[in-house]
Amino acid sequence: MSILPIVMWPDPRLKRVCDEVGVIDGAVAQLVSDMFETMYAAPGRGLAAPQVGVMQRLFVMDATWKEGVKSPLVCINPEIKRLGDELSTNEEACLSIEGVAADVTRPNQVELTYTDLNGARAAMLLQGFEAICAQHEVDHLSGRVIFDHLDDTARAVLEIEYKAAVV
């Protein structure tokens, strides 16, 4: 296992659409294991492959470990099947945009299909914080980050804050 370097905004890799994962082999399993180690060390609750420079549709998350309960989840080739009608606004942070947080409004329920590490297609329904976290990670696979959910003014303010924080 190894901790991978995290790609930081505004690296162009964070703005690109990722490719589908093909065969789930030992290299994918190793990547997943390294991504978990990187995420827990950061410390974060979610990490998408482009954040470690791998332009493939895959993310790991664990929305509850900081509260003492581990719930690791690997989603390969995830697809959002349905979004709930109810919206909620939460402060979201991102390991690739350190030092700032944005108020992002999203549906607080999501139904996802994905492939697991055994190559089996699975489905799940996530609620609340887990649903928010999963949508944030799926966004990364489409080249979207928290800034892309803001209006022009809020985005400009946050980008200035971020530039000041990283200097």
Task: Kindly list the catalytic residues.
Answer: 137
Q: Is 49 or 94 the residue whose CB approaches Ni ion more closely?
A: 94
Residue ranges of E strands in the chain: 46-48, 58-61, 73-83, 87-92, 102-107, 109-115, 121-127
Closest CB to Ni ion: residue number: 94
Q: Is 31 or 146 the residue whose CB approaches Ni ion more closely?
A: 146
Query: What is the nearest approach in angstroms of Ni ion to the Cβ of residue 111?
Result: 21
Q: Is 24 or 73 the residue whose CB approaches Ni ion more closely?
A: 73
Q: Is 28 or 52 the residue whose CB approaches Ni ion more closely?
A: 52
Rounded to whole angstroms, the maximal C-alpha distance in the chain is 45
Query: What is the nearest approach in angstroms of Ni ion to the Cβ of residue 47?
Result: 8
Query: What is the nearest approach in angstroms of Ni ion to the Cβ of residue 96?
Result: 6
Q: Contact residues for Ni ion (CB under 5 A)? A: 94
Query: What is the nearest approach in angstroms of Ni ion to the Cβ of residue 136?
Result: 6
